Amino acid sequence: MIIFSAANLTYAQGTSITILHTNDSHSHLDATGPKSCNLEGTIGGIAKAASVIGMIKQSEANVLTLHAGDFCVGDFFYNTYFGVPELQIMKQLGFDALTVGNHEFDLGPSTLNDVLTAGFADGSFPVLSANLDMTGFPQLENFIQPYTIKNFGDVKVGIFGMTIPSPLSNAYPVIISEDVAEISYATVMELQGQGCDVIIFLSHLGSGIDQQIAAGVPGINFIIGGHDHYIFDQPVVVMNPENKPVYICQAGSYYQNIGKLKFTFDNGAVTFNNYQLIPVNASVPAVPEIKAVIDELKTGITAQFGNVFHTVDGFALKDMNTHNESGCASKDTPMGNLITDSYRNKTHTKIGITANGLIAEKIYRGAITSADVFRTVSYGYDTASGLDFRLATFDIRGSELIKGLEVGLSMIGIDDDFFLQVSGMNFKYNPQNPVGERVLLSSVKIDHAPLKPNKKYSVTVNEGLLGILTSLGGVEVENIQILPVPEYAGLKAYIRKLRLLFYSPEGRVIEVNSGDAAESMTRPDLKQYKYELKDNYPNPFNPVTTIKYELAVNGYTTLKVYDILGKEVTNLVNEKQDAGIYEVQWNAANLSSGVYFYKLQSDRFVQTKRMILTK
């Protein structure tokens, strides 16, 4: 993976095309972020984004405007209007395509169908997803298609979309297929068969899978991605099986940036020209006509939920993020600590737990309005209150609590959404250990006392995490009580109680590595060896290949093979190894042809490489 630099390019002649893109807007129609003196947000929002889009469309020809999914769930605008106004404004702005995100299904396919019906009552634009089987709910086939084709003079641009097959999706009876690589390949072949000169993958699969598809599926020129909320200042460039570059872009979330990619098609060749990530910040004016619509919509919100936009519940003395800086050993986050503390403040249980994927947004330094509070915990929908997930309490034995922690740690390196945040307890874990054995049992403390496997502890979670732990994780709990308290209400009350907030990582959850403790005292001279994962040989191979690697110090080492979807195929090495040079053979006789990835982890060293099995 490399980051592309667009300096000193000579542009080709031919047809120049501009892609404007956004993703993961999550119903943030109004500006958010740091407040002005009148408590108005200063960054993002669709009225300010419309200003950027409109100016570019007025000054340039051949503009494609794309949204990579998740326009639903995340703001009072959704809980009041369910995404209908956003679709109508996107149509007004001339969006050319929208991919179906996983959160589009949060209230089920029937609600999504109603939203699309109302939003597109006066005309539509393409809504895309090639990996949805809508046989069980065919009404959605009226709106959702695998791909669309746009013509710019003689240049045909094919655009196809996909939706991440999340285990938390509420799509049934719609089936979200996991065969994304095969579907990508088939769709690209179909678009090429229809004469498309350029192919854009409008993806809501996440950057990890995007990169795997880019590396394994020929024919894709650009991937406009979503789901991760990542901000790529310049495209990530991955070489495809034909050794041609694929440019992968993401623009963050909430209309806070608009990505602008320019390319040229000339004489059968696609040439990347440049890329600009345009911040939708305080200097960008809102389009007055759209701002007026947003303000009118806010009156409906305040009529239902109170004056959430101008009620100040507290003040943040610093930005409180949902993730820590890279390399930080403390994996408890400011927002994770705040939210789980609010659980225990409301219910007085011993423990509070949430998951990273259930924390929607950070809190910015300065005044905190009720609308800001809701955006942080906006997932779920309670029909009684019209708000978010309700709080739930239960009792759990210490041994089952460990099992629940292991569920949260099982997806490290694959999906951060399951990672748990806690209050009233602390623990350490080793990500290099096998799944199910990552918690360091001696480190687990409940209220500063060692965990007892047979003791019962009281816990507060929200309904979403309760379902993850019990249904997906198989964790046994007792005395479940669903409280008539939305998560938002509990958090708002706690912020009002604190008034001044200054949350930071506290070491509630700490990542350690096999070489951190006593092993670090006996490490050999680092000059003897270095860390290196070598290219497998032969490559391509059929069916046996050899992988060599070098370890600088003693440490617990794993060498794993994954398929193009990121699923673990085999674990070739899983043991403590001394510093030195190693060689492993892999026989893939029982697997099908395709692209596979091998990943080496030892001490703090992690590296992944690609190999191709051909039969």
pLDDT at residue 1, as a whole number: 43
Q: Which string of DSSP letters, residue by residue, matches 195-253?
A: T-SEEEEEEES-HHHHHHHHHH-TT--EEEE-SS--B-SS-EEEE-TTS-EEEEE-B-S
Residue written as token pair 């992988």: 547
Following DSSP, what letter does each residue of 446-494 receive, concatenated? ETTEE--TT-EEEEEEEHHHHHIIIIIS----EEEEEEEEEHHHHHHHH
pLDDT at residue 541, rounded to an integer: 87
pLDDT 10s digits, 392-408? 999 999 999 999 999 99
CB 325 within 8 A of CB 316: no
396 three-state secondary structure? strand
**Half-sphere exposure (Cβ direction) of 185: Cα atoms closer than 13 Å:** 14
| CATH number of the domain enclosing 431 | 3.90.780.10
Which one of 461, 490, 511 terminates a domain? 511
- State residue 528's pLDDT score: 56
Please give the Cα distance from 536 to 559 (Å, whole number): 13
> Mean pLDDT over residues 468-474, rounded?
88
Residue 370, pLDDT > 80, answer yes
> 360 and 273: one domain?
no
What burial class does residue 528 get, using C-beta atoms within 10 Å of its C-beta: 0-12 exposed, 13-18 middle, 19+ buried?
exposed
Q: Is the same domain home to 532 and 467?
A: no
Residue 8 has pLDDT above 60, yes or no: no
Asked if the structure places residue 5 within a domain, the reply is no
Q: What is the pLDDT of residue 37?
A: 92
- Tell me, yes or no, whether 290 lies in a domain: no
Q: What is the pLDDT of residue 279?
A: 98
**Same domain (yes/no): 522, 494:** no
6 located within any domain? no
Are the CB atoms for 222 and 159 separated by under 8 Å?
Answer: no
* Residue 408 belongs to a domain: yes
Claim to verify: residue 460 and residue 585 sit in the same structural domain: no
**Total tally of structural domains belonging to the chain:** 3
Mean pLDDT for the stretch of residues 431-448: 93
526 and 551 housed in the same domain: yes
Summarize pLDDT for 33-50 with one digit per residue, the tens: 999 999 999 999 999 999
- Whole-number pLDDT of residue 78: 98
In this structure, which amino acid lies at residue 500? L
Q: Across residues 499-521, what is the average pLDDT? A: 75
Residue-wise pLDDT for 511-556, tens only, equals: 998 655 433 333 333 345 788 899 988 888 899 899 999 888 878 8
Same domain, 245 and 323: no
Per residue, the 3-state secondary structure of 45-64, as one string, reads CHHHHHHHHHHHHHHCCCEE
For 358, the 3-state DSSP assignment is: helix
CA diameter of the chain: 73
The residue to which tokens 């809190």 are assigned: 363
Domain range for 493 is 311-511
Q: 483 and 353 in one domain?
A: yes
Query: Does the residue 7 lie in any domain?
Result: no
What order do you get walking across the sheet with 366-369 strand by strand? 366-369, 312-316, 500-501
Q: Are residues 504 and 580 in the same domain?
A: no
Q: What is the mean pLDDT of residues 287-312?
A: 97
- 335-346 pLDDT, tens digit per residue, is 999 999 999 999
Residue 187 belongs to domain with CATH number: 3.60.21.10
Asked if residues 232 and 23 have their Cβ atoms less than 8 Å apart, the reply is no
Would 562 be classed as within a structural domain?
A: yes
Q: How distant, in Å, are the alpha carbons of 30, 71, 78, 378 from that of 27? A: 9, 5, 6, 11
Which residues fall within 8 angstroms of residue 171, CB to CB, at 6 or more apart?
A: 105, 108, 109, 132
Q: What is the mean pLDDT of the chain?
A: 92
- Reply yes or no on whether the pLDDT at 6 is more than 50: no
What number of other Cβ atoms are within 10 A of residue 36's Cβ?
12
Which of the residue ranges 257-261, 315-319, 483-487, 548-552 would you say has the lowest mean pLDDT? 548-552
* Residue linked to tokens 């982890």: 601
Residues linked to residue 429 through DSSP beta bridges, in sequence order: 439, 511
Which of residues 9 and 357 earns the better pLDDT score? 357
C-alpha 528: how far from chain center: 40
Predicted confidence at residue 516, as pLDDT, reads: 55
Burial (Cβ within 10 Å: 0-12, 13-18, ≥19) of residue 482: middle
Domain finish residue from 511, 533, 566? 511
**pLDDT value at residue 514:** 67
Looking at the fold, whether 173 and 55 belong to one and the same domain comes out as yes
Q: What is the pLDDT of residue 610?
A: 87
Separation of alpha carbons 99 and 391, rounded Å: 32
Q: Are 435 and 403 in contact (CB under 8 A)?
A: no
344 and 239 within one domain: no
Question: What is the reported pLDDT for 515?
Answer: 57
**pLDDT-above-90 percentage for the chain:** 80
3-class secondary structure, 337: helix
548 and 490 share a domain?
Answer: no
Q: Which of 234, 244, 252 is nearest to 270 (CA)?
A: 244
Are residues 493 and 583 part of one domain? Answer: no
Angle between helices 180-193 and 207-216 (to 10 degrees): 50
pLDDT of residue 17: 98
What pLDDT, on a 0 to 100 scale, did the predictor assign at position 377? 98
CATH of the domain at 589: 2.60.40.1930
Residue at 288 is within a domain? no
For 145, phi then psi, to 5°, come to -130, 160
pLDDT of residue 298: 98
Domain boundary among 279, 300, 324: 279
DSSP string, 105-162: GTTHHHHHHHHHHHHTTT----EE-TTEE-TTSGGGGGTEESEEEEEETTEEEEEEEE
Structure tokens at 100: 């179906």
pLDDT digits (tens, 9 = 90+) for 96-120: 999 999 999 999 999 999 999 999 9
Instruction: List, for residues 140-177, the tens digit of each pLDDT value.
Output: 999 999 999 999 999 999 999 999 998 788 999 999 99
CB atoms within 10 A of CB 13: 9
Q: Is residue 391 part of a domain?
A: yes
Question: Which residue is listed with tokens 């958010």?
Answer: 32
Question: What's 284's DSSP letter?
Answer: S
